[in-house]
Amino acid sequence: MKITGIGRGIPDQVVTNHQLEQILDTSDDWIKSRTGISERRILTEQNLNELASNASAEALADAGLSGADIDLVLVATTMADYIFPNMASMITRHIGANCPAMDLHAACTGFLYGLQTANAYLKAGLARRVLLVGAEAISRLSDWNDRGTCILFGDGAGAVVLEEGDGLKSMHLSTQADDRVLFMHSQPGNSPYTKGHSHDKPGLTMEGQDVFRFAVSQCEKDLRTALELADMGMEEVDWVLLHQANSRIIETIKRRFNIDPKKVPSNIHRTGNTSAASIPLLLWELYHAGMLKPGQTLALSAFGAGLTSGACVMTWHKDAPKTLIPADDLLPQ
């Protein structure tokens, strides 16, 4: 497969660390030094489906296609606006498509699982054009009394159109099953027959340091495996796009591979951790800043609840858009 279109949808509401200081026992200094995050976007009146639909429409326009050209809509999301109907179906309505539509849940690794699934459909001849969306509103899953987690996340959606091509050089996905270090219970409902399923703590629960350790060791392993499968060395990669979860994780990976910092863009200071939307949102910024050139090699890596993780190597095929945005803060000065 290859990426032929890209779009994004982000909430209007910016929430800075200083705003969080007003509602939590935290500080801008603590959040910035431990995570690299200065602000994030949070959904207010809009719903997630609107963001995802906007991202999808933009990706289609960028690819020069309409909804009727799409053979499969895939959405990587942890929790859509509805349990059902799935978000992918709602997107078909917005873009004017009647093709198969499904949501896929692999937490923050969802976008990579989506790439792999789309690639399988294309290779099997089941689809010629796939719309893949990563859309998350983790602000609605967070426990806003838990300063150790709610400060980390932001909302947003990124979408790509995938068509037949030789862009995907390798993909490696894996799981280390764990429901202790990062989890959130589903709602128990009110069945009179259900016993012992009520949960005291609202929102997601995370053992931050355990997830941090998993992230750095697994991200390194996944990237090494993906590079090996592509028969490439890190020095041949032009851009390394890491899941934007914590700038300290990103710094550790840079050191472990001794990667030129100018090859590892980051927008976490503005986005926070947007889970399955993290990589497509970063990709959108690079593309619109004119930083991606046809023929360049990208390495992508993500990790999250599951614990799922994965990495892939791909070639970029698209020319830069005509109008570019400034993106001076994507790379270290």
Q: Which residues are catalytic?
A: 108, 243, 273
Query: For the chain, what percentages of helix, strand and coil (3-state, to nearest 5) are there?
Result: 35, 25, 40
- Whether the Cβ atoms of residue 41 and residue 14 lie closer than 8 Å to each other: yes
Residue nearest to ligand UT7 (CB): 208
Task: List Cβ neighbours of 317 (8 Å cut-off, separation of 6 or more).
Answer: 2, 3, 4, 165, 167, 294
33 sits near ligand UT7 (criterion: CB under 6 A): no
Indicate the DSSP class of residue 323. S
Least separation in angstroms between CB 227 and ligand UT7: 22
Please give, one letter per residue, the 3-state secondary structure of 81-96: CCCCCCHHHHHHHHHC
Q: Write down the least CB distance from residue 286 to ligand UT7, Å.
A: 20
Residue (82 or 183) nearer to ligand UT7, CB? 183
The answer to whether residues 10 and 60 touch, using CB atoms and an 8 Å cutoff, is no
Could you say whether residue 139 binds ligand UT7 (CB under 6 A)?
no
Binding mask 142-181 for ligand UT7 (x = CB under 6 A): -----xx--x------------------------------
CA distance 155 to 102: 21
CB of 157 to ligand UT7, least distance (A): 16
DSSP class of residue 273 equals B
Measured from the CB of residue 75, what is the shortest distance to ligand UT7 in angstroms? Answer: 18
Contact status: 35 vs ligand UT7 (CB under 6 A): yes
CB nearer to ligand UT7: pick between 10 and 108: 108
Residue 246 binds ligand UT7 (CB under 6 A): yes
Least separation, in Å, of the C-beta of 216 and ligand UT7? 9
Answer whether 281's CB lies under 8 Å from 52's CB: no
Draw the binding track, 197-236, toward ligand UT7 (x: CB under 6 A; -: no contact): ---------x-xx-xx--x---------------------
How many Cβ atoms are within 10 Å of 3's Cβ, its own excluded?
27
x-marked contacts with ligand UT7 along 43-62 as a string, rule CB under 6 A: --------------------
DSSP string, 242-271: E--S-HHHHHHHHHHHT--GGG----HHHH
Give the chain's end-to-end CA distance (angstroms, integer).
34
Per-residue binding letters, 108-127, with ligand UT7 (x by CB under 6 A): x-------------------
Placement of tokens 């990563």 in the chain: 134
Can you give the binding site for ligand UT7, defined by CB under 6 A? 26, 30-31, 34-35, 108, 147-148, 151, 206, 208-209, 211-212, 215, 245-246, 273, 304
